[in-house]
């Protein structure tokens, strides 16, 4: 049972968003000098023109902290107002402890839960689902949910089939427990989350290393065409499930905020929903695939550019290694 829309009288409301992108821009033209590829091939197949790459020594934790500070500033909160930190990442600073405890300490959060969630590109949706359950069950009051990745640390820069796709960055939201109103879907907060994995497909996308195998993080290995096929199918299924669970149709949505892996997957999902691309937040052209960071990065950009406004109904969705996939329906 991966669908959670338990009613407890408490709603997890997004108070604010924040994000961080490293300074360094690497364009497709730059990659033409490293591997046998072209700007045209990359853009046509993926919709990507450029991505950000973390500076030497800049870690996932550093980016997560920067995004967290932006979210705190937007909410007008101090670190001590936060009693939970959940970081979705697949590229942690260290094997342990979690990136979340570094964030917790650096922002001065109260002692409470702090841990990482690893579901690759679906990580942020998973983390949102986990945080929502903690809040609805009264185990935390305000949780910073962050997606942060240094994908450049697990890229084989000689493999043209993967190195052109990924980028680095971080995005964050602050969730707060608020009384659940009687207005149903019109009320603010997370209305439902839908989380899935099919471990039989774990060899379609993985890193060829890890602490208990090679002792090194390894690099991304992907069967792109296969992943693409399942991505389109799973996204279509999970968005339908999220709409049905809330008795709404795609016409009720204000924005689709998808994981930014490939513009063709995003367009296929929008088409399936019969949703105009004007209602889809797209950042893949400038960010590439930042894995767990891509959804909160896209969300923050759309909030700051005033596309997404308070009260808008958002459908967040993503898929990634595992294979994992999921969606969340949220009234911002
Ligand atoms: N430049 C030029 N040519 C290339 C490149 C490149 N960078 N990479 C591959 N090619 C070549 C291939 O070798 C192949 O050549 P061939 O026909 O002579 O064998 C040809 O281009 C076509 O390759 P395909 O892999 O079939 O290309 P496709 O249209 O499938 O696009 C892509 C590849 C962009 C990777 C696509 O399959 C995709 O987006 N897949 C899904 C990725 C994704 O969504 N991942 C999910 C999340 S990631 C995560 O969880 C970490």
67-101 pLDDT per residue, tens = 999 999 999 999 999 999 999 999 999 999 999 99
pTM of the model: 0.96
Q: What's the pLDDT band for 114 if we cut at 50, 70, 90?
A: very high
**Ligand 1 in reach of 232 Cβ (< 6 A):** no
Q: What value does the mean pLDDT take over residues 198-215?
A: 98
**Ligand 1 in reach of 82 Cβ (< 6 A):** no
pLDDT at 315: 98
Whole-number Å distance, alpha carbon 221 to ligand 1 midpoint, is: 11
Please give the share of the chain, as a percent, with pLDDT higher than 90: 95
Pairwise pLDDT comparison (181 vs 80), residue with the higher score: 80
Whole-number Å distance, alpha carbon 200 to ligand 1 midpoint, is: 22
- Provide the terminal-to-terminal Cα distance of the chain, rounded to the nearest Å: 25
Query: Which pair of tokens denotes residue 307?
Result: 């596309």
- Nearest residue CA, atom 48 of ligand 1? 320
Q: What's the pLDDT band for 57 if we cut at 50, 70, 90?
A: very high
Q: What value does the mean pLDDT take over residues 185-190?
A: 95
The C-alpha atoms of residue 247 and residue 329 are separated, in whole angstroms, by: 12
Q: How many CA atoms lie within 13 A of 39 on its CB side?
A: 9
Quote the longest CA-to-CA distance of the chain.
58
Angle at alpha carbon of residue 68, lines to 63 and 73, rounded to 5°: 130
How does pLDDT run across 252-294, given as a tens digit for each residue?
999 999 999 999 999 999 998 899 999 999 999 999 999 999 9
- Nearest residue CA, atom 29 of ligand 1? 45
Catalytic sites, residue numbers:
121, 259, 289
Compute, in degrees rounded to 10, the torsion defined by CA atoms 21, 328, 254, 260: 40
- Nearest residue CA, atom 9 of ligand 1? 161
Ligand 1, closest atom to CA 227? 41
Q: What is the DSSP string of 110-144?
A: PSSEEEEE--GGGHHHHHHHHHHHHHHTTS-SEEE
* Alpha helix ranges (H) inside the chain: 28-32, 39-46, 60-75, 99-107, 123-136, 160-163, 224-245, 263-273, 284-287, 294-304
The C-alpha atoms of residue 278 and residue 41 are separated, in whole angstroms, by: 25
pLDDT at 239: 95
pLDDT at 162: 97
- Considering only CA atoms, which of 221, 203, 214, 210 is closest in space to residue 158? 221
Query: Which pair of tokens denotes residue 116?
Result: 């990482």
Return all residues near 30 (Cβ < 8 A) that are at least 6 apart: none
46 alpha carbon, distance to own chain's centre: 18
pLDDT at 181: 84
pLDDT at 8: 83
**Ligand 1 in reach of 226 Cβ (< 6 A):** no
Q: Is the model's pLDDT at 1 over the cut of 50?
A: no
Query: Which pair of tokens denotes residue 192?
Result: 């439902």
Query: Which pair of tokens denotes residue 305?
Result: 């550019």
Q: What value does the mean pLDDT take over residues 108-117?
A: 95
Angle at alpha carbon of residue 167, lines to 192 and 86, rounded to 5°: 40
How many residues are listed for the chain in this entry?
332
List domains and CATH numbers for the chain.
Answer: 1-332 (3.40.47.10)
pLDDT at 2: 55
């Amino acid at each position: 049972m991966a669908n959670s829309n338990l009613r407890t009288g408490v709603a997890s409301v997004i108070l604010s968003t924040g994000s961080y992108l490293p300074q360094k821009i690497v364009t497709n033209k730059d990659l033409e000098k490293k591997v046998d590829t072209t700007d045209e091939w990359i853009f046509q197949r993926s919709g990507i023109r450029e991505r950000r790459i973390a500076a030497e020594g800049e870690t996932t934790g550093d980016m997560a902290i920067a995004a967290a500070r932006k979210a705190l500033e937007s909410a007008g909160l101090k670190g001590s107002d936060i009693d939970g930190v959940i970081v979705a990442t697949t590229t942690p600073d260290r094997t342990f402890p979690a990136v979340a405890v570094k964030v917790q300490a650096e922002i001065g959060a109260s002692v409470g839960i702090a841990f990482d969630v690893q579901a690759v590109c679906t990580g942020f949706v998973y983390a949102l689902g986990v945080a929502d359950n903690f809040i609805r069950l009264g185990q935390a009051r305000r949780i910073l949910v962050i997606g942060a990745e240094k994908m450049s640390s697990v890229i084989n820069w000689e493999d043209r089939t993967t190195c052109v796709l990924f980028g680095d960055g971080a995005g964050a939201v602050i969730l707060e427990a608020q009384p659940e109103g009687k207005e149903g879907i019109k009320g603010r907060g997370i209305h439902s989350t839908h989380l899935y994995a099919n471990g039989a497909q774990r060899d379609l996308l993985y890193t060829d290393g890890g602490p208990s195998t090679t002792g090194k993080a390894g690099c991304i290995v992907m069967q792109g065409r296969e992943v693409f096929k399942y991505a389109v199918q799973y996204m279509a299924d999970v968005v339908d499930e999220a709409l049905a669970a809330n008795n709404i149709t795609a016409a009720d949505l204000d924005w689709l905020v998808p994981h930014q892996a490939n513009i063709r997957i995003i367009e296929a999902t929008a088409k399936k929903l019969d949703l105009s691309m004007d209602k889809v937040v797209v950042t893949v052209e400038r960010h590439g695939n930042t894995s767990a960071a891509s959804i909160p990065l896209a969300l923050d950009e759309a909030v700051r550019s005033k596309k997404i406004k308070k009260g808008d109904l958002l459908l967040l969705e993503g898929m990634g290694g595992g294979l994992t996939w999921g969606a969340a329906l949220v009234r911002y």
